Amino acid sequence: MKTINLCSLVVICVGFAFFATSCANENEVATDATLTLTATDEALASSLSDEVINEAELYSNTLADLGYNSAMAVKGNAEASKPTVTVNKKDSVNFPKVITIDYGLGTIVHGDTLKGQIIITISDKSWKPGSTKTVKLVNFYVNSNHIKGIKIITTNALNAAKNPSVTFTVSDTIIRADKSTVIRNSTRTRERISDGGTPRIYSDDKFSITGNSNGINAKNVAYTVEITKALILYNDFRFFVSGTVTTKIKDKTIVLDYGDGTKDNKATITVNGVKKEITLKN
């Protein structure tokens, strides 16, 4: 998951007023501090959203391969603990289906602690173009972040490269440990560009993500975001490994660059031509 330690970023970006008042005025909108805060808020929200989507896709796809009628075990998942997964219709014929992924009071997933439930309603067989998965959250947390909202995953037809893809329509509200709130709406398409040579094991899949989003950061400032170079994500690695995201507030921009494809926890931000390296953490 691509989660950024916001406090670390405040230290890196000297003079940025992270703990200022929760309501921004017109002058604040143009500052580098607000741009950086907005970019990091968006990165956090995007990462948390992707964490939920990865879990929903991992378990729903594995269950589909098992005909929805087997004890749940995710192939290739090396985590010591796993959530409890149930499905209401244990066959491959009757739809819609409801899958419940219950993390209880805390389940470790790729180093993060997930709590609560992910509930997925599946309209039809997931390979059918136009079929949907509606993802809802019940008392759901990733670490100390309380996530609310809804996600709709729509299956697309195979693209020109014969790769499968899905489009995510997301509406998220994230309440952080300090009670600040980030609101994010997003439309993204995630294309599977590699199955890792294991078509029925989803934990090692590689994805290319494109799209845009908009929202309101923790200081109540509105923003828009565009993925200007496709984000590359592996299911078995917690951070994006490459790709760029451009965040805009009015006529100001900041670019977040996730690197050259190396699996590490480094990224850079560029504001007004000044580039800084950041460390990605929980």
Q: What is the pLDDT of residues 34-75, one digit of tens each?
A: 777 777 788 788 888 888 988 998 899 889 988 998 766 554
Residues pairing with 191 in the sheet: 165, 208
CA angle, residues 159, 160, 166, in degrees to nearest 5: 15
Higher pLDDT residue, 22 or 117? 117
Q: Which sequence spans correspond to the domains of the chain?
A: 6-279
Side-chain half-sphere of 225: how many Cα atoms within 13 Å? 32
Residue-wise pLDDT for 145-203, tens only, equals 999 999 999 999 999 999 999 999 999 999 998 999 999 999 999 999 988 888 777 77
Residue 22 predicted with pLDDT over 70: no
Higher pLDDT residue, 166 or 278? 166
CA nearest to 72, candidates 80, 280, 61 = 61
Residue 189: per-residue pLDDT: 95
The answer for residues whose C-beta is within 8 angstroms of residue 73's C-beta and 6 or more apart is 62, 82
Residue 15: per-residue pLDDT: 26
Q: What is the SS3 assignment for 227?
A: strand
Higher pLDDT residue, 200 or 77? 200
Residue 218 predicted with pLDDT over 80: yes
Its pTM stands at: 0.74
CA-derived radius of gyration, the chain: 19
Token duo for residue 33: 């501090």
How far apart are the C-alpha atoms of 94 and 86, rounded to whole Å? 15
> CB count, 10 Å around CB of 269?
24
Q: Please provide the DSSP assignment of 181-197 as one string.
A: EEEEEEEEEEEEEE-TT
Least confident residue range of 13-27, 218-232, 260-274: 13-27
Residues pairing with 254 in the sheet: 247, 271
Residue 239 predicted with pLDDT over 70: yes
Residue 118: per-residue pLDDT: 97
Mean pLDDT of 259-270: 90
Of the pLDDT bands very low, low, confident and very high (cuts 50, 70, 90), residue 24 is: very low
Sign of dihedral through CA atoms 21, 24, 4, 235? positive
Residue 65: per-residue pLDDT: 87
Q: Give residue for tokens 């090692």.
A: 204
